[in-house]
């Protein structure tokens, strides 16, 4: 039985008349990387702020490692590192100074803070910039400094709000790898919010899809895809030299294949995804030369679109 580090029960948050979070429920287990995905304005940041006790819920409870975020925010904040989406640092301080300041706010004495700050700056790859003022940092560097800032208190839980925003693609990959490594090495529970599924799918153990303040689906990516697209058809493309009419007819006879089209030396086959090996076999049996066989899986984009469109269309 996994230990849940974050438990959200029936969370409701209203801003005036606008309901930002609507009866939200989910749990995050220890050591897990959980991706909270949703379009802008879905209530991700609001949910995060209530977890940290920075915002009071209208209804419902949030527990972090058993502590109630609303009534015991200090205990929660002691074990939780939070990287806000619009993270920033004092421009006229060096990266090292910023980290030491955060460490001291966590009650770590200066000498010890300097030591662990230097170590962390190496971890996030900022050791060369540590004595430069943060005003000169690029967005990617700020984000990495933010990660170091989160880690300096040696947290058990890390909450990252849109951590990849504004970083270039290579930087994003590096940044996410860093998060995954840290989580796996130290057993830190990570909650990651994002509106870009592609980026986070790689490192998340589980994702929850949040639209209009409601959690529409939850699970790992494959589960989500299976649940959604089990009965849906995939498109399989095969590049074959010397396509014959017999081959096409043979393929059309298969029960799991609905349609076969020819486009030059390309066969476009609609059918169930299990049929892929059969196609390869058939092509070879009919003396075709198979150059390439590709299978277009329903991925995150489709999942995302499905939910977001559903979210918009149904309600």
Partner 1 sequence: MTDKVRPFWVMVQKEISEHVRNWRFIILVALILLTTVGSIYTVLSIIRDNAAQISSNTTFLYLKMFTKSNNNLPPFITLISFLGPLLGIALGFDAVNAERNKGTLSRVISQPIPRDHFINSKFVGALTVIFILVFSLGLLVLGLGILYIGVPPALGEFLRIIIFLIFTCIYIAFWLNLGITFSIVFRQSATSALSALAIWLFFTVFYSMLVNVITGVSSSVNLSLILSRISPNYLFDELTTVLLTPSIRSLGALSFEQIYGAIPSTLPLGQSLLLAWPHITALLAATMICFGISYVLFMKQEIRG
By CB under 8 A, name the one of 26, 67, 82, 306 that touches partner 1: 82
Q: Applying CB under 8 A, does 140 fall inside the site for partner 1?
A: no
Cβ closest to partner 1, residue 92 vs residue 314: 92
Q: Find the shortest distance in angstroms from Cβ 48 to partner 1.
A: 10
59 touching partner 1, by CB under 8 A = no
Site size for partner 1 (CB under 8 A): 34
What are residue 34's DSSP bridge partners? 191, 206
Query: Edge-to-edge strands of the sheet including 67-68?
Result: 18-29, 4-15, 59-64, 67-68
The binding track of 278-297 with respect to partner 1, each residue x by CB under 8 A or -, is: --------------------
Q: Should residue 68 be labelled a site residue for partner 1 when binding is judged by CB under 8 A?
A: no
The residue (of 24 and 49) whose beta carbon lies closer to partner 1 is 49
User: For partner 1, which stretch binds (CB under 8 A), given 84-92, 122-130, 166-174, 293-301?
Assistant: 84-92
Kindly give, in sequence order, each residue whose CB lies less than 8 Å from that of residue 312, ignoring residues fewer than 6 positions away: none
Angle at the Cα of 278 from the Cα atoms of 202 and 306, rounded to 5 degrees: 40
Write out the binding residues for partner 1, residues 34-53 only, by CB under 8 A.
45-46, 49, 52
- Considering only the stretches 80-88, 259-267, 287-295, 297-305, report the one whose residues sit in contact with partner 1 under the rule CB under 8 A: 80-88
| DSSP sequence for 131-179 | TSBGGG--HHHHHHHHHHHHHTT--SEEEEESTTTT--HHHHHHHHHHH
Under rule CB under 8 A, residue 55 binds partner 1: yes
Our finding on whether 102 is near partner 1 (CB under 8 A) is yes
Contacting residue, 86, 185, 255, 274, with partner 1 by CB under 8 A? 86
Tell me how far, at minimum, the Cβ of 78 lies from partner 1, in Å.
Answer: 4
Find out whether 117 and 102 touch, Cβ atoms under 8 Å: no
Angle between helices 95-105 and 139-151 (to 10 degrees): 30
CB of 135 to partner 1, least distance (A): 10
Residue 309 parent element (H or E): helix 300-314
DSSP string, 209-236: EEETTEEEEEE-HHHHHHHHHSSS-EEE
Residue 55 vs 276, nearer CB to partner 1: 55
Task: Determine, following the binding rule CB under 8 A, whether residue 111 of this chain makes contact with partner 1.
Answer: no
User: In the sheet where 234-241 sits, what is the strand order?
Assistant: 257-263, 266-271, 234-241, 289-296
Q: How near is the Cβ of 122 to partner 1 at its closest, in Å?
A: 21
For position 84 contacting partner 1 by CB under 8 A, the verdict is yes
Closest CB to partner 1 among residues 103, 129: 103
Residues contacting 170, CB < 8 A, separation 6+: none
Tokens of 233: 């058809």
Residue 146: which of 173, 115, 167 has the closest Cα?
A: 167
CB 126 within 8 A of CB 149: no
Of the listed pieces 26-34, 146-154, 232-240, 272-280, which binds partner 1 according to CB under 8 A? 146-154
Site for partner 1 contains 74 (CB under 8 A): yes
Q: Which C-beta is closer to partner 1: that of 109 or that of 277?
A: 109
Residues that bind partner 1 (CB under 8 A): 15, 45-46, 49, 52, 54-55, 74-75, 77-78, 80, 82-84, 86-92, 101-102, 104-110, 146, 149, 153
């Amino acid at each position: 039985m996994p230990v849940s580090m974050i438990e959200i029960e029936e969370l409701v948050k209203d801003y005036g008349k606008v309901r930002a979070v609507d009866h939200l429920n989910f749990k995050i287990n220890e050591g897990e990387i959980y991706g909270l995905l949703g379009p802008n304005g879905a209530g991700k940041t609001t949910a995060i702020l209530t977890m940290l006790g920075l915002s009071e819920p209208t209804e419902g409870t949030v527990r972090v490692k058993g502590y109630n975020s609303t009534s015991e925010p200090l205990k929660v904040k002691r074990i939780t590192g939070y990287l806000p989406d619009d993270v920033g640092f004092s421009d006229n301080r060096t990266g090292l100074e910023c980290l030491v300041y955060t460490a001291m706010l966590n009650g770590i004495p200066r000498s010890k803070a300097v030591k662990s700050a230097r170590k962390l700056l190496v971890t996030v790859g900022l050791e060369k910039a540590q004595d430069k003022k943060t005003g000169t940092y690029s967005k990617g560097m700020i984000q990495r400094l933010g990660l170091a800032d989160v880690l300096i208190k040696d947290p058990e839980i890390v909450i990252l709000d849109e951590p990849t925003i504004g970083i270039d693609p290579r930087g994003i990959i590096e940044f996410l790898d860093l998060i995954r490594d840290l989580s796996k090495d130290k057993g830190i529970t990570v909650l990651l919010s994002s509106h870009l599924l592609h980026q986070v799918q790689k490192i998340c153990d589980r994702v929850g899809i949040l639209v209009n303040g409601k959690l529409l689906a939850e699970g790992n990516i494959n589960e989500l895809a299976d649940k959604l697209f089990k009965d849906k058809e995939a498109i399989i493309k095969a590049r074959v030299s010397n396509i014959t009419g017999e081959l096409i007819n043979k393929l059309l006879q298969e029960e799991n294949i609905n349609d076969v089209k020819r486009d030059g030396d390309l066969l476009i086959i609609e059918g169930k995804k299990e049929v892929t090996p059969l196609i390869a076999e058939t092509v070879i049996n009919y003396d075709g030369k198979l150059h390439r066989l590709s299978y277009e899986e329903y991925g995150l984009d489709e999942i995302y679109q499905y939910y977001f469109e559903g979210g918009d269309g149904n309600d």
